Amino acid sequence: MGWIEYDRPPVNAFHWEMLREVPEALEQHLADPAVRVVVFASALDAHFSVGADLGVFLDMDADDMRRWVDVCHDLVRLMRASPKPLLAAVHGIAVGGGLEMVLHCDVRFAASTARLGQPEINIGFLPPVGATQALARLLGRPRALRYLYEGTLLGAEEAHAIGLVDVVVAAERLREEVQGYAAGLARKPARALAAIRRCITEGVDLPFEEGLAIERDEAVALAGTADFHEGLDAFLSRRPPAWSD
């Protein structure tokens, strides 16, 4: 697996360089055939991320903000188009853009002590890393609106209850749990994982019939792979499959 760990002490506040490094790191992992799963995490003990460095925002004009948001949205598109599973390991304080990025991951693990939120409303702003769109899909429109209107922090269990995170574990077991889950995914056929991810990620925003068309195309493509035939034979022979990829 490949790890993308925020590492700008003391609180992982994003400036221009750090913002640009995230898609660069993701592109490297996506291009590396040895990496089967990518995990977003933090290298700091107490903070996942506090989001953007507000000192950077102070010096921005409208054109600068457009460039900032364009970089954010390009990252969102890259994450959504990923053929590899994307996971998140969230601990400590997780707010703003650093948290917004992992809204586009497939499975979000959170330490039981994590505190999560989008406080942008409190500075007269909104979360621009695709969060308005991701949250409406993850939480539903009413919950997403209330969450962003209020701008308060949620505990991990409350975040889990509304669908913001998927798994809550003891803080000391977070990395172990994520590694174990990622290792399990890495043992599955990569082409089938990519097909499932595409069907759901793209299909959810399409009319039902268009989503079915993507599902059909992916099913037909998978039927021609060596892994599909290996999977069938292994299942019928009651033996473990030996995937080609």
d(CA 129, CA 9) in angstroms, rounded, equals 21
Angle of helix 190-203 relative to helix 226-237, nearest 10 degrees?
Answer: 110
Q: Which of 27, 120, 157, 172 is catalytic?
A: 120
d(CA 187, CA 29) in angstroms, rounded, equals 17
For the question of residue 100 being annotated catalytic, the response is yes
d(CA 169, CA 108) in angstroms, rounded, equals 11
Q: How many of the other CB atoms lie within 10 Å of CB of 233? A: 12
Q: Which of 5, 21, 27, 100 is catalytic?
A: 100
Q: Which backbone phi and psi does 176 adopt, to 5 degrees?
A: -60, -45
Give the helix/strand (H/E) hosting 48.
strand 47-49
For the question of residue 150 being annotated catalytic, the response is no
Quick check: helix, strand or coil at residue 39? Answer: strand
Token pair of 208 as six digits: 């039902």
Q: Which backbone phi and psi does 151 adopt, to 5 degrees?
A: 65, 25
Q: How many of the other CB atoms lie within 10 Å of CB of 91? A: 24
Q: How far is CA 85 from CA 29, 195, 206, in A?
A: 11, 11, 21
Give catalytic residue positions.
100, 120
